[in-house]
Amino acid sequence: MEDKDLKYMELALELAGNALGRTSPNPMVGAVVVKDGRIVGKGYHARAGTPHAEIHALREAGEDAVGATLYVTLEPCCHHGRTGPCTEAVIRAGIKKVVMAMTDPNPLVAGKGARKLRDSGIEVVCGVLEAQARRLNEIFIKYISTGMPYVVLKTAMSLDGKIATAGGESKWITGPRAREHVHLLRDRYDAILVGIGTVLADDPSLTTRLPDREGRDPVRVILDSGAATPPGAKILTQNSQAQTIIITTGEAPPDNVKQLESAGAVVIKVPGSDEGIALADMLRELAGREITSVLVEGGARVNGSFVRDKLVDKVNWYIAPKIIGGGKAPGPVGGPGIKLLNDALQIENIEVHDLGNDICIEGYVAVRGGLDVYRIS
């Protein structure tokens, strides 16, 4: 691997990151065209349905693409989707060499794009900054590999592990910088999920509010097996372009369901479970609607259910330097818990964010018995 390859691939990754939270259900991709040591074209994929990164870079390069090297963060596609195959455009442009960070996990591509390029006489190199590329597209990799959304568990707690006082007060445990950090997460992920308890107790907006720019509201998902969400709740009456999805079961009263649908909610019925809702079935339903990532901001019961069912991929744990105390003050993860420490959910690849008086611990759920293909190593 040459230093120049690292330099140009770093630029391609930086370009791809410009579309953070905007390309779902597609991956983020950046591309750079280099000829005779000079960048002649660059671009990134902005959102699904628009030209891919390679197309932007090749258009900017024009005739200079002939005999040039294309650096791209993901294997060029070779199938017709919302747009045409990038491999054909690369071949037509006269590119001599393609350096890519990783192969595309999409079964429709998965090595076929690289093979088509090689069959056309183009030199192909793969694996330059692959770990960084996989980290960038961790959401897409899981979604396309498993048919399930990427699940991030977010919670905010005091130093002694409380998410509210014994009397139920929870606003605000963390400070302004931590709350702004949470809104950056909302801007990135497709959906935000809470339980009916949070809706009834707090009447939250579940929108993205950023001080320096306009954010994108995630789809609001409410776990509500009895369809008890008030039709006048903020999640249904506020001015927001994002959908509100109410997840219920067959036990939900039909009149309640009709009221919620009349208020603009999308009501989805999934199988029930002993805990209320079969979460894995619910996540598959969301994936079928091209929701590729879910930010769980639930209370102790919802958080405990996701942990119990081993559905969490990543955590963002906000900790405030406050001591609340009280045996009846709730912690962030409910349910029966574990009996043996060896069964605890292990978090790895930790990053700690300094957010003024608060901190955020961000990390990945370790996979026992080996690394899943979509996990970050």
The two three-digit tokens of residue 328, written as one number: 């009846």
Give Cβ neighbours of residue 169 (< 8 Å, ≥ 6 apart).
none
202 annotated binding-site participant: yes
For residue 178, say whether it is annotated as part of any ligand binding site. Answer: no
Q: Is 209 annotated as a binding residue?
A: yes
Neighbours of 325 (CB within 10 A): 11
Angle at 245 between CA 180 and CA 298, to 5 degrees: 45
Closest CA to 136 of 211, 47, 38, 30: 30
Of residues 10, 54, 123, 138, which has the active-site annotation?
54
Cβ proximity of 145 and 374 under 8 Å: yes
Q: How far is CA 203 from CA 178, 222, 223, 237, 238, in A?
A: 21, 12, 14, 11, 11
The DSSP secondary-structure symbol of 147 reads: S
Cβ neighbours for 64, distance < 8 A, ≥ 6 positions apart: 33, 35, 40, 41
Task: Find, among 12, 2, 67, the residue nearest to 44 by Cα.
Answer: 12
* Residue 31 near residue 53 (C-beta atoms within 8 A): yes
Helix axes 53-61 and 86-93, enclosed angle (nearest 10): 20
Which residues are paired to 195 by β-bridges? 223
317 assigned to a ligand binding site: no
State whether the Cα torsion 22-24-26-27 is positive or negative. Answer: positive
| Residue 172 labelled as part of a binding site | yes
The sign of the dihedral angle between the CA atoms of 286, 287, 291, 293 is positive
Beta bridge mates, 296 = 153, 193
Residue 64 annotated as part of some ligand binding site: no
377 marked as part of a ligand binding site: no
User: Which secondary structure element, helix H or strand E, spans residue 55, and what is its range?
Assistant: helix 53-61
Q: Does 54 qualify as catalytic in the annotation? A: yes
Residue 145 labelled as part of a binding site: no
% helix, strand, coil for the chain, step of 5: 30, 20, 45
83 is in an annotated binding site: no
Q: Give the relative orientation of helices 86-93 and 112-119 as an angle to the nearest 10 degrees.
A: 20
Gyration radius (Cα) of the chain, Å: 23
| 297 in a labelled binding site | yes
225 is in an annotated binding site: yes
Could you tell me which residues are annotated as the binding site for Zn(2+)?
52, 77, 86
Q: Which residues are catalytic?
A: 54
Could you tell me which residues are annotated as the binding site for substrate?
170, 186, 206, 209, 297
Could you tell me which residues are annotated as the binding site for NADP(+)?
156, 172, 198, 202, 225, 299-305
